[in-house]
Amino acid sequence: MNNFLVIINVLVLILFILGLFFMQRKHISFSKRVFTALGLGILLGFAFQFVYGPESEVLQASADWFNIAGTGYVKLLQMIVMPLIFISILGAFTKMKLTNNIGKVSGLILAILVGTTAIAAAVGIASAIGFNLEAVQIQQGEAESARAEQLEETYGGIQNQTFPQKLLELIPANPFLDFTGARPTSTIAIVIFAVILGAAYLGAKRKTPEQAELFAKIVDAFYTIIMRVVTLILRLTPYGVLAIMTKTIALSDFDAIMKLGKFVAASYVALIVMFAIHLLLLAIAGLNPVTFLKKVLPVLTFAFTSRTSAGTLPLNIRAQTKQLGVPEGIANFAGSFGLSIGQNGCAGIYPAMLAVMIAPTVGQNPLDPVFLLTLIAVVAVSSFGVAGVGGGATFAALLVLSTMNMPVALAGLLISVEPLIDMGRTAVNVSGSMTAGVLTGRVTKELDTNMYNAVQETEAEAEA
């Protein structure tokens, strides 16, 4: 009987996928299909949970099949991330799009990412204080205790690593290993490797122009093929969003979410405020924030549902270059650095809120101005150091809490609502990297404002 119900559930999802395919054949815009998929996924997920309950064996088995469309799509995106970063940055050199101001571009991007993370920390602090969040308010069960032990074990592996050692982790000793994504710092390592090859190309162009010209043609050919692969994968976005959202809602523990409702609300208030700050920065730069919002919503929707900044990178770069008018080199630097440096949601808001919540348990007044200023500075510096130890909210929290002499195990208290909060954090991370790309393009006067302000559907969106 259970197998029959699983088959029925899978067929229902397939029917919804066919509906989205029909919308594509009718040339309904990419954005509308993504948002339709999001809405249908929420409705279908609630329906499955109402019928079976989140702990149902039928639903668990069905979710495995849903993963073919959902997780399978994310894996396809992750498959193309490293080749896309490498060939795009190298192509920026061969096309002479990044050679004169690479230091200024990279410096600006890093400054914006780390600067906005400091602002995000202040926002997280304000939200935690405003909602009067304290760690003692959370009941610690078996899941929280297990998570605490895991965090302490993880911290044991990084606590003796100095900041210079973390920086050394960025250097690609074996770029072929980094192409597999085997190390936490593989993304940044590939960026560095591409820049080194680009610099070598410029030297060869002066001394042996014929060979350099051949190399440029090879890079251009690879770039064309890889971007075509990106386009083909992006066409699957609505189906991936539908499957991921259906599974997420169907398996969510809403009882646990209700118990920690105040913590979830405080987190999302902070995340929404930080996103509004991104829009404000664009407005200060003389750009229409509403236009930005309309063009990046499909990207942020996928980031929200998938909870993967790396998987969102192809959509991130595509939106920057094809819809927001950001040059390829800048877009790739902003997107790549944003995966592990200056993550506004994971490395800014989250650890700051945790520190404020945990402070009373160690006798620290969370309203002490010195404590708050120190916390903001630590979060900003740690957001850069996170790249050397793997990135993500967990490592950011470990670094900040340990630096502030707070028990790292208490970072596991929110494990029951972690997936829900992480959805918003990921979207804000991606928004931050895209904002950094647009602002850098604006400051260097390389932003195509005509493309940014264009209201018609772009070719990239039409192809998707």
Mean pLDDT value of segment 135-139: 60
At 213-229, the pLDDT tens digits run 999 999 999 988 998 99
The percentage of the chain sitting over the pLDDT mark of 90, rounded to a whole number, equals: 34
Range of the domain at 117: 2-463
Q: What pLDDT does 162 receive? A: 63
Give the Cα separation of 183 and 175 in Å (integer).
Answer: 11
Percent helix, percent strand, percent coil in the chain, to nearest 5:
80, 0, 20
Q: What pLDDT does 459 receive? A: 41
Distance (Å) of CA 13 to CA 4, 17, 223, 238:
15, 6, 35, 13
CB atoms within 10 A of CB 224: 11
Give the Cα separation of 166 and 188 in Å (integer).
Answer: 12
At 404-420, the pLDDT tens digits run 877 766 666 666 677 78
Contact 305, 442 (CB under 8 A): no
At 342-376, the pLDDT tens digits run 889 888 898 899 888 888 888 888 888 999 999 99
Q: Is the pLDDT of residue 328 over 50?
A: yes
Q: At what angle do helices 350-358 and 369-385 cross, to 10 degrees?
A: 140
Query: Considering only 13-22, 81-90, 210-219, which range has the smallest mean pLDDT?
Result: 81-90
Q: How far is CA 420 from the centre of its chain?
A: 14
Q: Which residues of 300-333 are buried (b: 16+ CB within 10 A; e: fewer)?
A: bbbbbbbbbbbbbbbbbbbbbbbbbbbbbbbbbb
Identify the CATH number of the domain in which residue 14 sits: 1.10.3860.10
Q: What pLDDT does 234 receive? A: 85
Give the Cα separation of 155 and 141 in Å (integer).
Answer: 21
At 18-63, the pLDDT tens digits run 999 999 898 888 888 988 998 999 999 999 988 888 788 888 999 9
What is the residue-averaged pLDDT of the chain? 83
Confidence band of 166 (pLDDT split at 50, 70, 90): low
**Domains contained in the chain, number:** 1
Q: What pLDDT does 398 receive? A: 74
Contact 376, 352 (CB under 8 A): yes
* Locus of tokens 């409702």: 261
Per the model's pLDDT, the better-predicted residue between 308 and 300 turns out to be 300
> Angle at the Cα of 30 (from 25 to 32), degrees rounded to 5?
100
Q: Is the pLDDT of residue 300 over 90?
A: yes
Give the Cα separation of 114 and 111 in Å (integer).
Answer: 5
At 417-453, the pLDDT tens digits run 777 888 899 999 999 999 999 999 999 888 999 999 9
Give the Cα separation of 86 and 187 in Å (integer).
Answer: 9
Q: In terms of C-beta density within 10 A (0-12 exposed, 13-18 middle, 19 or more buried), how is residue 133 classed?
A: buried
